[in-house]
Amino acid sequence: MRRVTSSRLVWFLAIWLAGFASGAPAGSPTPVVIGTDPEAALEKALELERRHNWTGAIETYEAALEQWPGRADFRHRLRLCESHYKLARRYQDKSFRNVLLKLPRERAVELYDELLERIETHYVEPVGFEPLLRRGLDNLEVALRDPAFLKTNQIDAANADPFVGCETPSGPGERP
């Protein structure tokens, strides 16, 4: 019976995460006007970020990337805004708050391990775990700056040590 529950939780987690993997919300009804100056477009998007208007910033960066596809700074900022947007959506989702946030740490780690195993065994193309890890660390960095995440998870950002309780090749709790 435990395996059935585990499988259901893994599929719930996978489907739930897939819903947030798509990035920004579906296209807005009004097109974003960015003008002809990339620096002005960047400043407009940064102002939207400062106001935590993640949807507006995402749309602005997407429009800017269509006009200036070679701008790596637009691509980087877009990815950060998408992380903020997904985090905000996640913490507003009742199923996330009522199911996943209430899992004991050990169970959450087991579930995550099972999900990674399924990704590895069920994907047709091999999954690069290094980019997956990099994206996860980027998302963790965004989360550790988000007041709702810190409050919900009872983290004191000023005194938080991300390595406490971690298993490393050199031993538990030691910095890599």
Q: Would you state the pLDDT for residue 25?
A: 54
Which long-range CB contacts under 8 A does 61-69 form with residues at least 24 apart? 62/24, 62/32, 63/31, 63/32, 63/33, 63/34, 64/34, 64/38, 67/34, 67/38, 67/41, 68/38, 68/41
Rounded to the nearest angstrom, the gap between the alpha carbon of residue 10 and the centroid of all alpha carbons in its chain is 18
Q: Is pLDDT above 70 for 28?
A: no
Do the beta carbons of residue 28 and residue 55 sit within 8 Å? yes
Percentage of the chain beyond pLDDT 70 is: 72
Amino acid residing at 60: T
Summary mean pLDDT of the chain: 80
**Whats the size of the chain, residue-wise?**
176
Q: Would you state the pLDDT for residue 95?
A: 87
pTM of the model: 0.67
Q: What is the pLDDT of residues 53-103, one digit of tens each?
A: 999 999 999 999 999 999 999 999 999 999 999 999 988 898 888 888 888
Q: Is pLDDT above 90 for 38?
A: yes
